[in-house]
Amino acid sequence: MIKRKLIVGTLIISSLIGTIGCAQYKSEGQEDNITIIKDTKDILATDIVASKIDTYEGIIGHDWLDENEVVITKENKELEPVKIDNEKLKASFEAKSLYSYDLDSKEQKIIGDQSKFQDGAIISPNNKHMFYRNEFEKIATGYIADLKGNTKAKIADKSIDEYDLSEARWINDEELIMPCSSIKGFAIINVDGTINKIKDVESGVMGNEDPLNGLSITNPIKVEDKIYYVTIHRGAKDDDKIKVYDINKKEKRELVKDDVQNFSLSPNKEQLLMLTSNPNKNVNELVVTDLEGKQKELLAEGYIFGPRWSSDGTKVSYISNEEGKEGVYVVDVKTKKESLISVGEYYIPIQWSPSDKKIMVHSKKSKNNGRPFDEIDVTNVITLEE
Three state DSSP letters for 286-299: EEEEECCCCCCEEE
Least confident of 34-43, 145-154, 303-312: 34-43
- CB of 322 closer than 8 Å to CB of 353: no
**C-alpha closest to that of 168 among 114, 119, 211:** 119
* Phi and psi at residue 369, to the nearest 5°: -110, 10
DSSP 182: G
pLDDT (tens digit per residue) in 285-343: 999 999 999 989 999 999 999 999 999 999 999 999 888 889 999 999 999 999 999 99
Task: Give yes or no for residue 29 having a pLDDT over 50.
Answer: no
pLDDT tens, residue by residue, 193-235: 999 999 999 999 999 899 889 999 999 999 999 999 999 999 9
pLDDT 10s digits, 240-255: 999 999 999 999 999 9
How many CA atoms lie within 13 Å of 276's alpha carbon, on the beta-carbon side?
22
> How far is Cα 240 from Cα 254, in angstroms, rounded to an integer?
11
Report the distance separating Cα 41 and Cα 50, nearest Å: 6
Percent composition of the chain: helix, strand, coil (DSSP 3-state, to 5): 5, 50, 45
Domains of the chain, earliest start first: 8-385 (2.130.10.10)
Backbone angles phi, psi at 159, to 5 degrees: -85, -5
> Average pLDDT of 157-182?
95
Per-residue confidence (pLDDT) for residue 20, from 0 to 100 = 32
Whether pLDDT at 50 is above 80: no
**Residue 91 phi/psi, 5° resolution?**
-160, 165
